[in-house]
């Protein structure tokens, strides 16, 4: 029999050929498990048919809600069947219909199901409560189901299905949010000592999946003293020997979290978990090992010295996929210290000759990184220089880049390196990065390299063939440097380079050439000081990831954050942040306060800025010209990421028309709280005229852009964003909605965490005078930079306080 074609969706058997398939698979025709017993055979067949019918109903209910109504009766009747299997099945199907107007029929059977004598039915009911919550949260809460669930969790013997009840509860709670006091109280009960102990003492009776959940819960528990911590750890010690990696990782998370404040115990934990982790990495499927390896990677990065004697475990195997090799190379780099560097570098050099080119490159980079970490670079430099002689173009290219970095850190090695670099023909180097590195060295060390001016001259002659702007920029600078060191030999090529640079179509190259030209014209000795200043060796190269982010990832141990090496707010939406986010808010707060002075990486925002404005004008052009400006309800016609349905916006604006009125007062209070140091005078400053904003203001992007260009900056200020605001900013849309509610509209927004950029506008209620705002928020430093431009400059102060108070209220419940 040919496999049936399932064109649309295989979960919905629809073709005729499949009927016979199903028939063939029905138990009655395949022979029964208890041959001879007709009754049981019939019973079995009946159950099978029921199952198939339920599956069908479940699939089509959503499409045909009216027809689904017809099945309710049957399902409800089956919920009272004598057979627990049937009861469970019926209840599950009933809850899976996902049809809103059938909710009323659910409450009764669910209530009965939670108290059923069969644990299977209770389990189905627990999941049903969650399903009901998703269809209609209010019905679910009104019927008091969550509370019943938590009782269920603790009283009834449900060990086999504990994970279901727990996960249902956790999801409901996280969706309910921390707003409701009742919910937080319920949470506290589950995290109380007695409950945690109750669960811990029975952990061996639970299924492995339930164990994962319980452990996740325990990781949130805060023991009262160190004795308690040791009790918990002793109790869980044998979980580290579980064959299921998920259980082991969850246990490790508990250990790490519990001992965070006890430095030496924390270190012992690392020692203890090393062996189980390594075993998990080498057993199981490659996919599972990858998940564990990512976690091991995180730990190695945090405490490389603990793993420095295990470096051989991080050697790559030839048949491993490259995602595994990359992790291992990073670990090897991290654990390298004085005692093992030689062996690690020897091993890495083997990979450099590997057929797997990306990995060969990574290995060379790893060697370079190790060289930059170590004080004794003697041996490594030799190896790197050997790479240069290997005559594989990618090896040479990577090695050149490394030698350049190395020289910036250890200028004392220049003699050795230069001798080898000088032998490399620039024709053999094609990759822009490598070529740029070579040219940099030619310029920097032109006094030591005999033919540097002539190589540069050759490169300048081929200016037009050089496609990479980076290389041309470096070439300009190198020729300049060379000129000051060996003027007679370089003068000609400097002239040629400047001429070529001035004629270059690339803006940066052109500008640099012009700059050099004028500098030389102005004063040669100044030019020399600019181009060839005495250099200090670079001691530390900038780390790519901030320590905050690393800590954040560590807090999210045993989650995807570790695999992606990003904290969860960078790849998930708030509502999907995971079922158990108790300490989330606290985490944000601490980050917000500790890191106020982090430098904002400005260029990211700059780039976004450009994009934003560009895309505005492009959209403008493609728009149908007939619609006049009054037809816009501004943000609905918004840019890329921001798309809030108009109807929703209007609703929000109307519901909140009076807010701007009380702005000045509240802003004072909040300023004091944040200690921003307002003018000391306690008497309120001459109160700015009460500003009313038009809740339905409109402005089209072109006008916005024009105005933004024309108007001067009326006010530029820095604010602090409150921690709640930072948290809420994980979904930038929420800020837009919030501001919208206060009659401040957004016209464009963009950026990636931690830098967001927004353009707002607002209009006075009575007249058409508008305010334009550029607001840059950095969530990691919790700061907002605001620039206001206004038609009516005199009202700027008033508007500023309105805006500030609006911003400070963002994220507040």
Partner 1 sequence: MISQFFVLSQRGDNIVFRDYRGEVPKGSAEIFFRKVKFWKEDGQEEAPPVFNVDGVNYFHVKVVGLLFVATTRANVSPSIVLELLQRIARVIKDYVGVLNEDSIRKNFVLVYELLDEAIDFGFVQTTSTELLKSYIFNEPIVIDAARLSSLGSTGLFMQGTKRMPGTAVTKSVVANEPGGRKREEIFVDIIEKISVTFSSSGYILTSEIDGTIQMKSYLTGNPEIRLALNEDLSIGRGGTSAYDYRSSFGSGAVILDDCNFHESVRLDNFEVDKTLTLVPPDGEFPVMNYRMTQEFKPPFRINALIEEAGMLKAEVILKLYAEFPSNITANTISVQMPLPKYTMRASFELEPGAIGQTTDFKEANKRLEWGLKKIVGGSELTLRARLTFSQEFHGNITKESGPVSMTFTIPMYNSSKLQVKYLQIAKKSGTYNPYRWVRYVTLANSYVARI
Tally Cβ neighbours within 10 Å of residue 129. Answer: 25
Looking at the Cβ atoms of 6 and 619, the one nearer to partner 1 is 6
Tell which one of 294, 341, 722, 808 touches partner 1 (CB under 8 A). 294
| Ranges within 360-419 binding partner 1 (CB under 8 A) | 389-391
Q: Please, what sign has the CA dihedral across residues 514, 517, 523, 528?
A: positive
Site string (452-491) toward partner 1, x via CB under 8 A: ----------------------------------------
Report phi then psi at 192, rounded to 5. Answer: -75, 160
DSSP string, 264-287: HHHHHHHHHHHHHHHHHHHSS-HH
Per CB under 8 A, which region of 177-185, 304-312, 361-369, 615-623 contacts partner 1? 304-312
Q: And the tokens for 714?
A: 């009326």
456 close to 443: Cβ distance less than 8 angstroms: yes
Residue 747 Cβ vs partner 1, minimum distance, rounded to whole Å: 25
d(CA 475, CA 379): 31
Alpha helices in 61-144 (DSSP H): 65-78, 84-95, 103-114, 119-135, 137-142
Report phi then psi at 599, rounded to 5. Answer: -75, 135
Residue 370 Cβ vs partner 1, minimum distance, rounded to whole Å: 19
Does 35 help bind partner 1 (rule: CB under 8 A)? yes
Per CB under 8 A, which region of 103-111, 121-129, 662-670, 805-813 contacts partner 1? 121-129
Tell which one of 51, 159, 220, 619 touches partner 1 (CB under 8 A). 51
How many amino acids of this chain bind partner 1 (CB under 8 A)? 111
Tokens 């809030």 appear where?
Answer: 644
Residue 362 Cβ vs partner 1, minimum distance, rounded to whole Å: 11
Does 124 help bind partner 1 (rule: CB under 8 A)? yes
- CB-based contacts of 578: which residues, under 8 Å, 6+ apart? 174, 559, 568, 572
| Ranges within 412-431 binding partner 1 (CB under 8 A) | none
Helix (H) / strand (E) element for 298: namely helix 286-302
Residue 35 Cβ vs partner 1, minimum distance, rounded to whole Å: 7
Q: And the tokens for 473?
A: 């920029």
From 373, 303, 298, 286, select the one nearest 333 (Cα to Cα).
373
DSSP type of residue 764: B
Tell which one of 231, 310, 431, 791 touches partner 1 (CB under 8 A). 310
Looking at the Cβ atoms of 559 and 770, the one nearer to partner 1 is 559
Tell which one of 64, 462, 571, 617 touches partner 1 (CB under 8 A). 571
Strands 755-763, 715-720: pairing is unpaired
Does 561 help bind partner 1 (rule: CB under 8 A)? yes
159 close to 210: Cβ distance less than 8 angstroms: yes
Does 159 help bind partner 1 (rule: CB under 8 A)? no
Q: How far is CA 586 from the centre of its chain?
A: 19
Does 137 help bind partner 1 (rule: CB under 8 A)? no
| Ranges within 540-559 binding partner 1 (CB under 8 A) | 556, 558-559
Does 25 help bind partner 1 (rule: CB under 8 A)? yes
d(CA 219, CA 302): 19
Looking at the Cβ atoms of 270 and 440, the one nearer to partner 1 is 270
Does 48 help bind partner 1 (rule: CB under 8 A)? yes
771 close to 706: Cβ distance less than 8 angstroms: no
| Ranges within 233-292 binding partner 1 (CB under 8 A) | 240-246, 248-250, 275-276, 278-280, 282-288, 290-292
- CB-based contacts of 741: which residues, under 8 Å, 6+ apart? 652, 653, 655, 656, 659
DSSP type of residue 306: G
Residue 613 Cβ vs partner 1, minimum distance, rounded to whole Å: 25
| Ranges within 171-190 binding partner 1 (CB under 8 A) | 171
Strand ranges of the sheet holding 770-778, from the earlier edge strand across to the other edge = 715-720, 783-790, 770-778, 755-763, 745-752
| Ranges within 89-118 binding partner 1 (CB under 8 A) | 92, 96, 98
| Euclidean distance between the first and the last CA atom of the chain, given in angstroms as a whole number | 62
Tell which one of 71, 150, 163, 800 touches partner 1 (CB under 8 A). 163
Per CB under 8 A, which region of 219-227, 311-319, 621-629, 655-663 contacts partner 1? 311-319
| Ranges within 640-679 binding partner 1 (CB under 8 A) | none
| Ranges within 312-341 binding partner 1 (CB under 8 A) | 312-313, 315, 317-323
Looking at the Cβ atoms of 389 and 651, the one nearer to partner 1 is 389
Does 309 help bind partner 1 (rule: CB under 8 A)? yes
């Amino acid at each position: 029999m040919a496999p049936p074609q399932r064109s649309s969706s295989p979960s919905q058997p629809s073709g005729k050929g499949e009927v016979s398939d199903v028939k063939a698979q029905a138990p009655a025709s395949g022979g029964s498990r208890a041959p001879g017993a007709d009754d049981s055979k019939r019973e079995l067949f009946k159950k099978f048919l029921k199952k198939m019918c339920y599956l069908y109903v479940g699939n089509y209910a959503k499409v045909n809600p009216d027809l689904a109504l017809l099945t309710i009766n049957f399902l409800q009747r089956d919920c009272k069947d004598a057979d627990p299997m049937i009861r469970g099945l019926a209840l599950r199907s009933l809850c899976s219909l996902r049809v809103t107007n059938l909710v009323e029929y659910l409450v009764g059977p669910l209530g009965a199901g939670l108290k059923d004598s069969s644990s299977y039915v209770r389990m189905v009911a627990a999941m049903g409560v969650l399903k009901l919550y998703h269809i209609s949260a209010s019905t679910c809460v009104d019927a008091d189901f969550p509370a019943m669930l938590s009782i269920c969790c603790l009283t009834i013997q449900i060990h086999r299905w504990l994970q279901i009840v727990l996960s249902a509860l956790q999801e409901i709670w996280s969706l309910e949010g921390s707003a409701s006091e009742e919910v937080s109280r319920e949470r506290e009960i589950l995290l109380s000592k007695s409950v945690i102990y109750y669960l811990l003492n029975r952990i061996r009776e639970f299924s492995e999946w339930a164990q994962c959940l319980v452990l996740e819960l325990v990781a949130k528990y805060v023991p009262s003293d160190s004795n308690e911590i040791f009790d918990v750890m002793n109790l869980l010690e044998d979980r580290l020997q579980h064959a299921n990696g998920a259980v082991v990782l969850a246990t490790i998370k508990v250990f790490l979290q519990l001992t965070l404040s006890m430095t030496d115990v924390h270190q012992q934990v690392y020692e203890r978990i090393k062996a189980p982790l390594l075993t998990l990495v080498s057993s199981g499927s490659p996919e599972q090992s990858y998940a564990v390896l990512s976690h091991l990677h995180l730990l190695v990065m945090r405490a490389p010295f603990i793993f420095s004697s295990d470096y051989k475990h991080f050697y790559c195997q030839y048949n491993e996929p490259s995602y595994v090799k990359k992790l291992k190379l990073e670990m090897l780099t991290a654990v390298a210290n004085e005692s093992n560097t030689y062996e690690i570098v020897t091993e890495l050099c083997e990979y450099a000759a590997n057929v797997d080119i990306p990995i060969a490159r990574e290995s060379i980079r790893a060697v370079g990184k190790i060289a930059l970490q170590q004080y004794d670079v003697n041996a490594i430099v030799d190896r790197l220089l050997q790479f240069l002689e290997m005559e594989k173009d990618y090896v040479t290219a990577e090695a050149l880049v490394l030698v350049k970095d190395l020289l910036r850190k250890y200028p004392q090695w220049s003699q050795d390196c230069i001798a080898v670099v000088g032998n490399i023909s620039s024709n053999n180097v094609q990759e822009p990065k490598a070529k740029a590195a070579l040219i940099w060295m030619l310029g920097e060390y032109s006094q030591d390299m005999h033919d540097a001016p002539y190589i540069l001259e050759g490169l300048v002659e081929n200016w037009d063939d050089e496609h990479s702007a980076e290389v041309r920029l470096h070439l300009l600078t190198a020729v300049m440097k060379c000129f000051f060191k060996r003027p007679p030999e370089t003068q000609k090529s400097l002239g040629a380079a400047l001429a070529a640079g001035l004629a270059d179509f690339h803006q940066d190259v052109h500008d640099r050439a012009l700059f050099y030209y004028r500098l030389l014209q102005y004063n040669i000795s100044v030019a020399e000081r600019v181009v060839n200043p005495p250099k200090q060796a670079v001691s530390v190269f900038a780390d790519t990831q901030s320590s905050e982010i690393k800590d954040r990832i560590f807090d999210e141990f045993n989650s995807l954050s570790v695999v992606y090496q990003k904290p969860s707010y960078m790849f998930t939406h708030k509502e999907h942040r995971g079922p158990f986010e108790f300490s989330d808010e606290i985490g944000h707060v601490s980050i917000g306060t500790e890191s106020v002075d982090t430098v904002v990486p400005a260029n990211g925002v700059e780039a976004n800025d450009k994009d934003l404005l560009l895309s505005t004008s492009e959209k403008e052009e493609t728009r149908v010209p007939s619609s006049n400006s009054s037809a816009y309800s501004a943000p609905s016609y918004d840019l890329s990421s921001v798309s809030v349905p108009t109807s929703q916006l209007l609703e929000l604006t109307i519901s909140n028309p009076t807010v701007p009125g009380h702005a000045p007062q509240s802003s004072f209070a909040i300023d004091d709280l944040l200690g921003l140091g307002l003018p000391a005078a306690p008497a309120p400053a001459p109160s700015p005229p009460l500003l009313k904003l038009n809740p339905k203001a409109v402005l089209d992007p072109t006008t916005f852009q024009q105005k933004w260009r024309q108007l001067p900056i009326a006010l530029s200020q820095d604010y602090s964003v409150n921690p709640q605001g930072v948290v809420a900013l994980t979904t930038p849309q929420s800020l837009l909605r919030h501001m919208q509610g206060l009659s401040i509209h957004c016209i464009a927004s963009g950026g990636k965490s931690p830098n967001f950029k927004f353009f707002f506008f607002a209009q006075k209620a009575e007249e058409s005078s508008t305010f334009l705002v550029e607001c840059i928020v950095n969530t990691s430093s919790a700061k907002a930079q605001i620039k206001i431009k206004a038609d009516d400059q005199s009202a700027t102060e008033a508007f500023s306080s309105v805006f500030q108070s609006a911003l400070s209220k963002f994220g507040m419940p």
